[in-house]
Amino acid sequence: MTETIERLRVELGDRAYDILVGPRLIECGGREMLPLLRRRQAVVVSDEIVAGHYLAPLRDSLSAAGITHHTVLVPRGEETKDLRHFGRLAEDILGIGIERGTMLVALGGGVVGDLTGFAAATLLRGVDFVQIPTTLLAQVDSSVGGKTGINTSTGKNLIGAFYQPRLVLADTSVLASLPRRELLAGYAEIVKYGLIRDAEFFAWLEAEGHQVCALDAEPLRRAVLTSCAMKAEIVAGDEREEGDRALLNFGHTFGHALETETGFGSRLLHGEAVALGMVLATDFAAKLGLVAAADALRVRRHLESCGLPTRLSEIGLQGIPADRLLSHMSKDKKVRDGRITLILPRRIGEAFVMKDAPIEKLRDFLTVAA
């Protein structure tokens, strides 16, 4: 390949791993995985749509590297991240006859990555896995950091494990096949990094974000690399979310509540929920006097200009009772002693953890927002 491949490192001691970012990485997936294998056997997990595009070149690369491979397909969509589908996936993988040296390979977006990672963490008490994220959201966020999990009717990702991959291959050439809505959902997570940690990056996104979403090569490369580098640095310093890693949940407590309310389906994509969640978090911080109203307006205007939802009415939740959203938020993983934890901004580029959000003020805010 003549294209430039960038290599980042997630520094976690003996569990450290590389993130490769660049075009056509799927075509050399077998070569990159080979040194990591304890047994020359891989099980590729994908969904029907992604498999139709990218399974053949991945299988060719595995065969070229002398790696025996099998494939398990799962249905597409967030609805697949539940106990029923996970149980079926586990049985299908075990039915192949895997050993602890077998490598699982997640070829797909965040749903496939989360399911496969959780399978790797639990089957045979732990097998290795590789992430090959095929959506922008998965490339810049969910494939890095080792969070795996599935949803329940109570809330999002309430069953799962911290379990790191051995390698992440972010093939930027696959992004051209994504629907516009999926691209924008991933872009919301890119914006998140600027808002929590890098004001200059957010300002750059205000100027160049439309080029990122248009998949212009250089802006896209910078956005993906910057996001992955930031995620890698945060995870290396706080793998199990006991400190700064919690900042990566900016917008997610509100967003997960919205996903729960809308049923984890195509009505509201995860990135769309995060976008709206970031607006709600910033507006709430402005209401509390913690962030300037001008900063809150910048956040709303930028996400709005990109075509992401910034109001509850846009997702059909106008007039929803505040207590209904509060009930969803109270079941979030970050709740401690019954108190809702929020990630809120102090200014663009700096966020903090509020461990005991004022419930009455939050209820009043949600009542008005709805």
Q: Is 304 a catalytic site residue?
A: no
Q: Is 125 a catalytic site residue?
A: yes
Name the region of 95 (left: φ>0; alpha: ψ -120 to 50; beta: rest).
alpha
Residue 36 has pLDDT above 80, yes or no: yes
If we measure between CA atoms, which residue out of 324, 268, 258, 273 comes closest to residue 303? 273
Q: Looking at residues 324-332, what average pLDDT do you find? A: 92
What is the CA 342 to chain-centroid distance, rounded?
Answer: 18
pLDDT for the residue numbered 332: 81
Model pTM score: 0.94
pLDDT for the residue numbered 2: 46
What is the CA 226 to chain-centroid distance, rounded?
Answer: 15
Side chain identity, residue 323: D
H runs (alpha helix) in the chain = 29-33, 48-64, 83-96, 110-122, 136-137, 180-197, 199-213, 217-237, 252-262, 270-287, 293-305, 322-329, 359-369
- Widest Cα–Cα separation across the chain: 61
Q: How many Cβ atoms sit within 10 Å of the Cβ of residue 96?
A: 12
Residue in 182, 189, 259, 261 annotated catalytic = 189
Residue 294 CA to residue 300 CA, distance in Å, equals 10
Q: Is 249 a catalytic site residue?
A: yes
Q: Is 189 a catalytic site residue?
A: yes
pLDDT for the residue numbered 201: 98
The mean-pLDDT minimum among 184-193, 320-329, 337-346 falls in 337-346
Domains in the chain, ordered, with CATH? 6-177 (3.40.50.1970), 180-369 (1.20.1090.10)
pLDDT for the residue numbered 4: 87
Residue in 69, 270, 302, 328 annotated catalytic = 270
pLDDT for the residue numbered 370: 77
pLDDT for the residue numbered 152: 93
Residue in 32, 241, 259, 261 annotated catalytic = 241
pLDDT for the residue numbered 1: 41
Could you tell me the sign of the dihedral formed by the alpha carbons of 109, 166, 219, 58, in that order? Answer: negative
Q: Is 245 a catalytic site residue?
A: yes
pLDDT for the residue numbered 338: 74
Q: What is the pLDDT of residues 85-133, one digit of tens each?
A: 999 999 999 999 999 999 999 999 999 999 999 999 999 999 999 999 9
Q: What is the pLDDT of residues 42-88, one digit of tens each?
A: 999 999 999 999 999 999 999 999 999 999 999 999 999 999 999 99
pLDDT for the residue numbered 10: 98
Side chain identity, residue 275: A
Residue in 59, 76, 197, 252 annotated catalytic = 252
Q: Is 328 a catalytic site residue?
A: no
pLDDT for the residue numbered 7: 97
Q: Is 287 a catalytic site residue?
A: no
Which residues does residue 73 pair with via DSSP β-bridges, in sequence order? 46
pLDDT for the residue numbered 20: 98
Residue in 59, 76, 81, 147 annotated catalytic = 147
Q: Is 59 a catalytic site residue?
A: no
In this prediction, what percent of the chain has a pLDDT beyond 90? Answer: 94
Residue in 125, 242, 336, 360 annotated catalytic = 125
Ramachandran angles phi, psi of 350, nearest 5°: -145, 125
Q: What is the pLDDT of residues 139-159, one digit of tens each?
A: 999 999 999 999 998 888 999
Q: What is the pLDDT of residues 244-258, one digit of tens each?
A: 999 999 999 999 999
Residue in 81, 166, 245, 328 annotated catalytic = 245
Mean residue pLDDT of the chain comes to: 96
Residue in 59, 166, 192, 256 annotated catalytic = 256
